[in-house]
């Protein structure tokens, strides 16, 4: 039997966002307790809310919108790496991996994730590792941090290096109780035609789906 592990942040009005970004707002346009026949909620939120796929348009004005993305990177074999002892994700974080055999890599950098609080500090991806990952043909990099680049970065080197190499990016994963090892990742972005990025419902599957 396969086991499905939800590795997505909950999304609601208490979900933390990048400082200055749009917070989640929920408005009930129809409510049964007001006499309507159904309950209908309207959401206002950033495309980077909770667990999300950073799209190419995020850092490149000519980049693709989520609806135009190849979905292949977001579905398939993945390896979870425990990097909680690292202050930065450099080549030491993957010293034991043969990247030529890895197609999707997810980094656990935190012991605990609190979706209600933006982290004071988080572990970014070093440009040298981003470059190495791109050269190795990895399809996707994921992290439980809110960004693959440092908080104060203006150049966003890791974003650009990964993007130029065609490597998809997932951010704000929840890997607290996930053991290092091999899984099947499912984290499809929405078919958004007027946004730079997209929230995802990310899950890891142990064993065979079915």
The predicted structure's pLDDT at residue 99: 79
Q: Which CATH topology does 3-8+47-206 take?
A: Glucose Oxidase; domain 1 (3.50.30)
* H/E run at residue 133: helix 127-135
Residue spans per domain, the chain? 3-8+47-206
CB 63 within 8 A of CB 55: yes
Q: What percent of the chain has pLDDT over 70?
A: 98
pLDDT tens sequence across 121-148: 999 999 999 999 999 999 999 999 999 9
pLDDT tens sequence across 105-125: 999 999 999 999 999 899 999
CB 62 within 8 A of CB 167: no
Instruction: Evaluate the CA torsion angle 85, 87, 92, 98 in order and state its sign.
Output: positive
Those residues with Cβ within 8 angstroms of residue 120's Cβ, 6 or more apart along the chain or in another chain: none
Measure Cα distances from 177 to 6, 33, 40, 173, 203 in Å. Answer: 10, 39, 34, 12, 13
Cα separation, 114 vs 133, in Å, equals 28
Three-state SS string over 64-130 comes to: CCHHHCCCHHHEEEEEEEECCCCCCECHHHHCCCCHHHCCEEEEECCCCCCCCCCCCCCCCECHHHH
The predicted structure's pLDDT at residue 102: 87
pLDDT tens sequence across 57-86: 999 999 999 999 999 999 999 999 999 999
Which of the residues are catalytic?
Answer: 58
Q: Is the pLDDT of residue 25 over 60?
A: yes
The predicted structure's pLDDT at residue 104: 97
Cα separation, 204 vs 115, in Å, equals 19
């Amino acid at each position: 039997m396969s086991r499905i592990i939800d590795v997505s942040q909950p999304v609601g009005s208490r979900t933390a966002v990048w400082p200055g970004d749009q917070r989640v707002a929920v408005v009930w346009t129809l409510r049964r307790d007001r006499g309507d026949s159904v309950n209908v909620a309207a959401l206002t939120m950033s495309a980077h809310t909770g667990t999300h796929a950073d799209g190419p348009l995020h850092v490149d004005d000519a980049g693709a919108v989520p609806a135009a993305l190849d979905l292949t990177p977001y579905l398939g074999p993945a390896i979870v790496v425990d990097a909680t002892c690292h202050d930065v994700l450099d080549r030491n974080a993957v010293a034991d991996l043969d990247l030529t055999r890895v197609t999707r890599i997810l980094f656990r950098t935190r012991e605990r994730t609190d979706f209600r609080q933006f982290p004071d500090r988080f572990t970014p991806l070093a440009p040298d590792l981003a470059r190495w990952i791109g050269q190795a043909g990895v399809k996707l990099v994921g992290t439980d941090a809110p960004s693959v680049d440092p908080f104060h970065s203006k150049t966003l080197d890791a974003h650009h290096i990964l993007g130029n190499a065609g490597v998809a990016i997932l951010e704000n994963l929840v890997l607290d109780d996930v053991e290092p090892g091999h899984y099947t990742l499912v984290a499809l972005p929405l078919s958004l035609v007027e946004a730079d990025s997209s929230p995802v419902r990310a899950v890891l599957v142990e064993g065979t789906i079915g």
